Structure 1
Amino acid sequence: MKQFFVYVSLISLLVSSCKSSKYTDLGDGIYADIQTTKGDIVVKLNHKSTPVTVANFVSLAEGNSPYVNDEFKDKRYYDGLTFHRVMKDFMIQGGDPLANGTGGPGYKFKDEFVDSLKHTGKGILSMANPGPDSNGSQFFITHKETPWLDGKHTVFGEVVKGIDVLDTIANVKTLERDKPEVDVVMNKVEIIRNGKEAKKFDAVKIMSDYFVEAEKAIAAKAQFKADFVAEIDEQRQAAKETATGLRIYTLQEGTNEKPKIGQKVNVNYAGWLPNGDVFDTSEATIAKNFDNFQLINQMHRGVFEPAVMTCSPDAQLIAGFKEGLLSMNVGQKVRLFVPPHLGYGEQGGGPIPPNSELIFDLEILSIAE
């Protein structure tokens, strides 16, 4: 009888160790088995390179995220959702409870861009979002290479099984706004953990740690911004006013060398609104102090470097910026307070509201060769 119980126990152990996945050849790592009405797509998740993004996906899939809206609490978030947007030779997109591209779990989190993870071909799993650092639950799987999405959408996995299913979904008949005529449903998204390291991956803790640090960063940036606004308010009063109404505050004295009219100069610059919001800068160290760093980073395509500007009354620059630049020597750094009539005036432009003062830091580094 004792022998019988030992035998039964061994059988139970073997069964329990195999029942976690129907795939036995995946190797170590964390995988997501996306079981759809068209078949299964298995993706390997990049939990080492993009831990927060993977933790978000895993905690949503397993239904244990404490950060979702109440309607999603203790529910397997992705089960029953659809691929609401399908574009052949581009991508299939899902993960939206509203199925219209606007839904999410009730929170947003940062981008995790990694140089080695790109949209290099068919089967790349990436986060869908409306802009920088605004990820939620929506994701897409590429149907071909999409390099223009690099640096805008976080790549966090790749299809290892079910490419044929991806092809099938990508080729379904669609209606207006690329919505499939017949819903393609994710019946279940099952997370598979193979190996000791994968089993130790604590998605909820990773998300918890992220949000704690994110709150600290938000508070620090808010304080930095408040201090900066107080600083510029003082400097505005102390700045020298020109006949046009431009105010110039010297931050750093330069040399005796003054650029000649028509010469090109290398310039570091930064521009702010009066409330302390930065709208552009050539210096990454400045941009990183503000909430919209990713947006500015995208504007510069990830490359921050001095701008080459022409010292000329005919330069294509706003009047206040140009006046300030023409007043400077090499090595000098100034802070300009540009009134609306010397800036973008009543119409504003881009991130600049109508009738807004602008604050610019300018530093002429050298004469451009």
Structure 2
Amino acid sequence: MVSCQSSERPEGMYAIFETDRGKIVASLEFEKAPMTVGNFVGLAEGRLDAANGKPFYNGTVFHRVEPGFVIQGGDPKGDGTGGPGYRFPDEFSPDLKHDGAGILSMANAGSNTNGSQFFITLGAAAWLDGRHSVFGKVVEGQEVASAIVAGDRIKSLKIERVGSAAKNFDASQKAWDERLSAAYAALRAAAQAKRQSDRAAIQASWPDAVEDEYGIFQKVLRKGFGDTPAKGDTVSVIYKGMLLDGTVFDQSALSGGPLSFTIGTGEIIDGWDKVVSSMRKAEKRIAIIPPELAYGSSGISGVIPADAYLVFEMELTAIKK
């Protein structure tokens, strides 16, 4: 039987959360965020392999509650560390934003690390735009969402389809595999295009920098003297770190002096180890380090973008054996 209330809903797809505090109903943006909705619905209905034929979210808890900010759930472990056993890319639509309370969005551990965890906003959170994939909005029961406390259960999560478009939306494993494959293909194509663009920018701005076997572009500004440091040596470096567009994200001057670290022990990004290991005392260089030897596809939120080349002005001031 369909309730009178549900029959009055406009055409669309809805997630109906029955929680310890009451009912929350969210509309799902299956046309603007088909991959993210396909994952959520496929898990909720037990249609994805990861759900083992059972409604994935039933019995899970809201493990994180930040008053005025978000309630977060969808973790089968209930502690924020769990998921469905896979990750999938971000999916952004320009008109889906964290612009108020009731926004349903994916929790993640960085770019392209979505799984099963989601959150519902308790207020506007514009800083999450472009970082978390919005895929729905609460249309009933926002007061219930606001009353949730950590540990409250999702007793059941059901999907309701109203209208032909929603009923025809495919949330099967086959459809999920196709969407995921297409998303990763698009990511690879975008990464390749960005890489080519970045290399062109490097060659235009530093035409005399020489690329080594690791893909690091280097230019010696001042020669040093003595031996190069060996693994286990402690070195001190004055530096300034920049993005390719010249934006400074860090410099030793802000820390009161040179940065000291031990060569070859993983204290610093791989690119630094490789560059400094080939420098001599008092030498000064520009080193342009590729993302795979820096912060990779994760970057540093709000500081270093994903897949970013990093430009360093470096001066080796001391080597201690």
TM-score range for the pair, normalised by the shorter chain length: 0.5 to 0.7
CA distance in 2, matches of 1:82, 1:235: 46
Question: Could you say which residue in structure 2 is the equivalent of 1:100?
Answer: 79
For residues 66-145 of structure 1, the aligned pairs below 5 Å read 66=49, 68=50, 72-145=51-124
Aligned-residue offset at 1:113: 2.0
SS in 2 for 1:79: coil
Alpha-carbon offset, residue 168 of structure 1: 2.0
Partner of 2:18: 35
Alignment partner of 2:179 out of 204, 210, 230: 210
Shift of 1:298: 5.0
Q: Where do 5+ consecutive residues of structure 1 fail to align? A: 1-17, 173-179, 246-266, 281-289, 310-316, 321-340, 347-369
Deviations 1:156-197 (A, max 9, x none): 11100112211221xx4xxxxxxx3xx311111100111111
User: Structure 1 pair 158/235, CA: closer, same or farther in 2 (3 Å)?
Assistant: closer
State whether structure 2 residue 185 is matched by structure 1 residue 185.
Answer: no
1:25 matched to which residue of 2? Answer: 8
CA-CA distance at 1:232 after TM superposition: 4.4
Q: Which amino acid aligns with 1:319?
A: M
Structure with higher helix content: 1
Closer, same or farther: CA 319–165 of 1 in aligned 2, 3 Å = closer
The answer as to whether partners of 1:279 and 1:296 remain within 8 angstroms in 2 is no
Q: Which residue of 2 aligns with 1:158?
A: 137
Aligned letter for 1:277?
A: P
Q: Is 1:52 the counterpart of 2:35 in the alignment?
A: yes
Q: Structure 1's 240 and 23: CA in aligned 2 closer, same or farther, altered over 3 A?
A: closer
Return the letter of the residue paired with 1:191. I
Larger CA Rg, structure 1 vs 2? 1
For residues 280-332 of structure 1, the C-alpha deviation after alignment (integer angstroms, 9 at most, x for no partner) is 8xxxxxxxxx961x647954689x9xx9x9xxxxxxx6237xxxxxxxxxxxx
What is the aligned counterpart of 1:318 among 303, 310, 313? 313
The one-letter code sitting in structure 1 at the alignment partner of 2:98 is H
Match for residue 195 of structure 1 among 124, 147, 163? 163
The 1:22–1:80 alpha-carbon spacing in structure 2 relative to 1, beyond 3 Å, is farther
RMSD: 4.2
> In structure 1, how many angstroms separate the alpha carbons of the residues matched to 2:102 and 2:161?
20
The corresponding residue for 1:283 is: none
Find the aligned partners of 1:276 and 1:301 in 2 and give their Cα distance. 12
Q: Which runs of 5+ in 2 are unaligned?
A: 200-209, 225-243, 248-269, 275-288
3-state SS of 2:76 partner = coil
Tell me the TM-score normalized by structure 1.
Answer: 0.56
The 2-side partners of 1:114 and 1:216 are apart by 18
| CA apart distance, 1:149 | 1.6
Paired residue secondary structure (1:126): strand
Task: State how far apart, in whole Å, the 2-side matches of 1:232 and 1:319 are.
Answer: 17
1:27-64 deviation line (CA, Å, top 9, x unaligned): 11111001112111000011111111111100000001
| Cα gap change, 1:242 to 1:132, in 2 (>3 Å) | closer
Q: Please name the residue that 2:231 is paired with.
A: none
In structure 1, the residue matched to 2:279 is: none
Q: 2: CA distance between counterparts of 1:214 and 1:38?
A: 37
Spell out, residue by residue over 1:47-85, the C-alpha distance to the aligned partner (whole angstroms, 9 max, x if none).
11111111110000000112x2xxx41111001111111
| 8 Å contact from structure 2 (residues 299, 305) kept in 1 | no
CA distance in structure 1 between the partners assigned to 2:214 and 2:292 by the alignment: 17
Map 1:217-236 → 2, pairs under 5 A? 232-233=211-212
Encode CA deviations 1:246-267: one digit per residue, 9 max, x unaligned: xxxxxxxxxxxxxxxxxxxxx7
Partners of 2:35 and 2:180 within 8 A in 1: no
Structure 2 CA distance for aligned equivalents of residues 209 and 20 of structure 1: 35
Question: Tell me, what secondary structure is at the counterpart of 1:318?
Answer: strand
CA contact (8 A) 1:126 1:140 kept: yes
- Evaluate the alpha carbon distance shift between residue 155 and residue 37 of structure 1 in structure 2; reply closer, same or farther with a 3 A threshold: same
Q: Relative to structure 1, is the Cα distance of residues 21 and 50 closer, same or farther in structure 2, using a 3 angstrom cutoff?
A: farther
Distance change (3 Å), C-alpha of 1:210 and 1:24: same
Q: What residue identity is the alignment partner of 1:318? A: E
> Sequence identity of aligned pairs in percent?
39
Q: Distance in 2 between matches of 1:115 and 1:218?
A: 18
Q: Tell me, what secondary structure is at the counterpart of 2:181? A: helix
Q: 3-state SS of the aligned residue for 1:203?
A: coil
8 Å CA contact retained: 1:32, 1:190: yes
Report the Cα distance in structure 2 between the residues aligned to 1:53 and 1:59, rounded to whole angstroms.
10
Evaluate the alpha carbon distance shift between residue 148 and residue 77 of structure 1 in structure 2; reply closer, same or farther with a 3 A threshold.
Answer: same
